[in-house]
Structure 1
Amino acid sequence: MTIDHTSFNVVWSVLMPRRSLALAALALVAGCGGTGAAAQPSASPTSTQGRDFQIQTLKADCMKGKGFKYVAWVYPDVPLTDEDEQRLSPDFATRKAYRETHGYDIMYRQIHGRPEGAKDAPVDPNGAIRDDLSPAQQKAYGTASDGCEAEAIKKVTGKVVTSAGDLVQQMNKLYAQRMKRELDGDPQLVELATAKADCLTAKGYQVSSTKPTLMGDWGRQSVERELHERARKEDKDIPPYDPDSGVAYGTTRLTDQEKRQYLQKEIKTAVDDIECGKDFDAAFSPKATQIWERVSQ
Structure 2
Amino acid sequence: MRRVTWVLSLALISGCAAERAATPVPTKGPDPRPKMEQIKADCMKQRGFKYVAYVVPDRPEPDLSTYEAMKTYRQKYGFGVFGQFVDPKDPLTGSIESAQDASADDPNEAITQKLNESQLGAYIEVENACYEKAAKEVLHKEAGSTLEAAGLMQGARDDLEEAEINGDPELVALVPGFADCLATKGQRVPPAMLPTAMAKRGNDVFWDQVKALGGKSAKGRMPDLTPAQARPYLDREVKAALEDLECGKEFYTRYAPKRASIDARVWAEYGPLIGR
Task: Give the whole-Å Cα distance in 2 for the aligned partners of 1:224 and 1:130.
Answer: 35
* 1:288 and 2:259 correspond: yes
Deviations 1:74-117 (A, max 9, x none): 34578x69xx4xx548572x643542332233332333133399
Residue in structure 1 matching 2:38, options 42, 57, 62: 57
Change (3 A) 1:280 1:97: same
Task: Give the whole-Å Cα distance in 2 for the aligned partners of 1:53 and 1:133.
Answer: 25
Task: Give the whole-Å Cα distance in 1 for the aligned partners of 2:116 and 2:214.
Answer: 23
What is residue 214 of structure 1 aligned with on the other side?
Answer: 197
What residue ranges of structure 2 are gaps of 5+ in the alignment? 12-24, 93-97, 270-276
What residue ranges of structure 1 are gaps of 5+ in the alignment? 5-9, 20-42, 236-248
What is residue 37 of structure 1 aligned with on the other side?
Answer: none
Task: Give the whole-Å Cα distance in 2 for the aligned partners of 1:213 and 1:219.
Answer: 12
Q: What amino acid maps onto 2:130 in structure 1?
A: C
Change (3 A) 1:178 1:46: closer
Q: Is the 8 A contact 1:193 1:215 kept in 2?
A: yes
Aligned length, in residue pairs: 247
Deviations 1:7-65 (A, max 9, x none): xxx974448xxx8xxxxxxxxxxxxxxxxxxxxxxx98951513x22221121123334
Task: Give the whole-Å Cα distance in 2 for the aligned partners of 1:65 and 1:225.
Answer: 47
Task: Give the whole-Å Cα distance in 1 for the aligned partners of 2:238 and 2:220.
Answer: 17
Q: What amino acid maps onto 1:201 in structure 2?
A: A
Matches within 5 A, 1:12-91: 12-14=7-9, 46-50=28-32, 52-75=33-56, 84=62, 87-88=63-64, 90=66
What is residue 95 of structure 2 aligned with on the other side?
Answer: none
* 1:107 and 2:82 correspond: yes
What is residue 140 of structure 2 aligned with on the other side?
Answer: 158
**Normalising to structure 2: TM-score of the pair?**
0.67
> What secondary structure, in the 3-state scheme, does the structure 1 residue paired with 2:82 have?
helix
Deviations 1:144-180 (A, max 9, x none): 4334323321333332223123213312221221211
Q: What amino acid maps onto 2:169 in structure 1?
A: P
Q: Which has the larger radius of gyration?
A: 2
Change (3 A) 1:170 1:105: same
Q: Is the 8 A contact 2:37 2:55 kept in 1?
A: yes
Task: Give the whole-Å Cα distance in 1 for the aligned partners of 2:213 and 2:127.
Answer: 30
Change (3 A) 1:162 1:200: farther
Q: Is the 8 A contact 2:182 2:247 kept in 1?
A: yes
**Normalising to structure 1: TM-score of the pair?**
0.63
Residue in structure 1 matching 2:106, options 121, 125, 132: 125
Q: What amino acid maps onto 1:283 in structure 2?
A: R
Matches within 5 A, 1:216-295: 216-227=199-210, 251-256=221-226, 259-295=230-266
Q: Is the 8 A contact 1:111 1:259 kept in 2?
A: yes
Identity of aligned residues (%): 30
Computed over aligned residues only, the root mean square deviation of the Cα atoms, in angstroms, reads 4.2
Answer 1 or 2: higher relative contact order, Cα 8 Å, separation at least 6: 2
